[in-house]
Amino acid sequence: MVDAYRVEKLSKLKSLGVNPYPYSFDQRNHSIEITSNFKDFEGKDVSVAGRIVRLRVVGKLTFIDLLDQDGKIQVLAAEKLTIQNTEKDSLKLLDFIDSGDIIGVKGKVMKTKRGEVSIEARSIELLSKSLSGLPEKFHGLTDIELRYRKRHLDLISNPNVRSFFITRAKILKYVRDFLDSKGYVEFETPVLQPTYGGANAKPFKTYVNALKSDFFLRIADELYLKRLIIGGFEKVYEVSKDFRNEDIDSTHNPEFTQVEMYAAFQDYEDYMKMLEEMISGMVKSIFRDTKITYQGKELNFKTPFKRVYWVEVLKKKTGIDVSTLTNNDAQKIAKKEGLKTSIPNAYHVADALFDKYIKPELFEPVFVVDYPAYMCPLTKVKRGNPLLSERFEFYIAGKEDGNCYSELTDPLEQRKNFEQQEKERKAGDEEAPPFDSDFIEAIETGMPPTAGLGLAIDRLAMILTNNTSIKEVIPFPIQKPFNDQNSQKTQ
């Protein structure tokens, strides 16, 4: 909310010829480089810029805590210091600046009697007059909803949050560099699609006026990237925003980031090896070690990663062989096991059994291997056992972070699987995608042996920053809209 007292200051500054919103400032230094290398900077002139997060007057000196991109540094301003960006060089600085203002400082590096590295200001220029200032609970802003809803305040009051997004950026850069080095080509595929597919999920529906047709926000990139493989590219990937109209919780956001990649002439065994190399190398690149701490427990990314053959493990634990599960059997098992599923068919019950008996025991990086074939309509069956599929999911700290197939390339089998999905969708399974005739036509042209992998960037960033919610690593996670009255309560 705008502060009338600050607006009054702003008006007076303008009337006296001060531009409170100048075009630029000659910023040459940052806080951390000065505080970390005091011996190199002692007695030298520097030029910094940032936001005032604390301001206190002691005698004839004003102590300013200045926050820039890297951290904080203390600025000492003498009582006689004046506003610099003015036609009349006679305005006392302290009469016009407030906590929350952005300023530029030029001065000499020194230490106070208490030993704090500081800048003795020679000049201070007002770069942006804050009209609302910082919230009352600025120091230690902890309200989670407010932090996510007003991320700009979160970044100001909790500078450590910035490191989460820096790590996220490093993850994406590493993935791109890694795939580029392996000969992959990055593409962009349609976000608006006439037919959604590539996963079991509820889509967001929209309408294209120019075409007078319904379209959908993509739930996955898969079917378009496979068209590129069919067209002759051998290695492709996309860093994408995908959308699923589902629950919002600590590991789900309706808009999320993933990297999907496909390679011709490879299978899921090749991708297990490549993913081990990528993830282990990424952790070592960011943290200089293959070991990190997540929620008080050690995570070791040393290769090779463990494998769990979940159909076998589940059978040992429960006596249930999910590879032969029918929809009729699934209903009985769901009732007996007390499973809550959207639809008690084989797919959803098998998934719920996995969540109940196997998922809680997963912590170290692990490949969960060989899913029931009926759960994988886009996947080749397991060599030697057609009841299983050549699919793995990659788990870290009990969270699914990757999904890979030896891709189904037989157009007749693909058609049959799409038809089965269409039946399930019409029977009430809202997550089953519709029949995609365009993709069937494409795969009928001939698709080489191919493997594909989707990597969940939000969850990976959550784990590598030691957080328990992906909202901490999504700059602007989706939130329920506030009306105007509620918005005022956050001020």
pTM of the model: 0.91
Question: Does residue 132 contact residue 155 with C-beta atoms inside 8 Å?
Answer: no
DSSP-derived secondary structure letter, 242: E
User: For residue 467, what are its two tokens?
Assistant: 């957080």
Is the confidence at residue 324, as pLDDT, over 70?
yes
Give 412-447 pLDDT, tens digit per residue.
Answer: 999 998 999 889 888 888 888 899 999 999 999 999
Question: Does residue 424 contact residue 374 with C-beta atoms inside 8 Å?
Answer: no
pLDDT of residue 136: 66
- The mean pLDDT value for 252-259 works out to 96
Is the confidence at residue 491, as pLDDT, over 80?
no
pLDDT-based confidence at residue 90 (cuts at 50, 70, 90): low
Phi, psi of 105 (to 5 degrees): -125, 135
pLDDT-based confidence at residue 42 (cuts at 50, 70, 90): very high
pLDDT of residue 143: 81
* 338 assigned to some structural domain: no
Are residues 421 and 383 part of one domain?
yes
Are residues 77 and 17 part of one domain?
yes
Are residues 212 and 103 part of one domain?
no
Lowest mean pLDDT among 13-17, 133-137, 355-359: 133-137
pLDDT of residue 429: 86
Are residues 172 and 105 part of one domain?
no
**Boundaries of domain holding 421:** 160-305+364-472
* 204 assigned to some structural domain: yes
pLDDT of residue 88: 55
Are residues 44 and 129 part of one domain?
yes
Are residues 280 and 241 part of one domain?
yes
- Stronger pLDDT, 349 or 159, i.e. the higher one: 349
Are residues 431 and 289 part of one domain?
yes
Nearest-CA neighbor of 310 among 299, 318, 298, 302? 318
* 155 assigned to some structural domain: no
* 127 assigned to some structural domain: yes
Are residues 249 and 398 part of one domain?
yes
pLDDT of residue 341: 87
Which CATH number is 451's domain given?
3.30.930.10
Nearest-CA neighbor of 452 among 196, 275, 323, 310? 275
Q: Which of 95, 116, 134 is the last residue of a domain?
A: 134
- Stronger pLDDT, 121 or 82, i.e. the higher one: 121
Are residues 125 and 226 part of one domain?
no
- The mean pLDDT value for 56-77 works out to 94
pLDDT-based confidence at residue 85 (cuts at 50, 70, 90): low
Report in angstroms the alpha-carbon separations of 405 from 24, 49, 63, 148: 52, 50, 60, 35
Are residues 220 and 123 part of one domain?
no
pLDDT of residue 139: 58
Number of domains in the chain: 2
Q: Which of 117, 134, 151 is the last residue of a domain?
A: 134
pLDDT of residue 84: 66
If you average pLDDT over every residue of the chain, what do you get? 93
Give 172-217 pLDDT, tens digit per residue.
Answer: 999 999 999 999 999 999 999 999 999 889 999 999 999 999 999 9
What whole-number percentage of the chain has pLDDT above 70? 96
The residue type at 218: R
Give 459-468 pLDDT, tens digit per residue.
Answer: 999 999 999 9
Are residues 168 and 20 part of one domain?
no
Is the confidence at residue 164, as pLDDT, over 60?
yes
Is the confidence at residue 484, as pLDDT, over 70?
no
Is the confidence at residue 269, as pLDDT, over 60?
yes
- Stronger pLDDT, 404 or 490, i.e. the higher one: 404
Lowest mean pLDDT among 212-216, 342-346, 365-369: 342-346
Which CATH number is 55's domain given?
2.40.50.140
Question: Does residue 402 contact residue 275 with C-beta atoms inside 8 Å?
Answer: yes
* 321 assigned to some structural domain: no
- Stronger pLDDT, 371 or 486, i.e. the higher one: 371
Are residues 278 and 401 part of one domain?
yes
pLDDT of residue 430: 84
Q: How many CB atoms lie within 10 A of CB 192?
A: 10
Is the confidence at residue 480, as pLDDT, over 50?
yes
* 152 assigned to some structural domain: no
pLDDT of residue 133: 81
* 139 assigned to some structural domain: no
* 274 assigned to some structural domain: yes
Report in angstroms the alpha-carbon separations of 178 from 170, 172, 174, 246: 12, 10, 6, 31
pLDDT of residue 473: 97
pLDDT of residue 489: 45
- The mean pLDDT value for 22-40 works out to 97
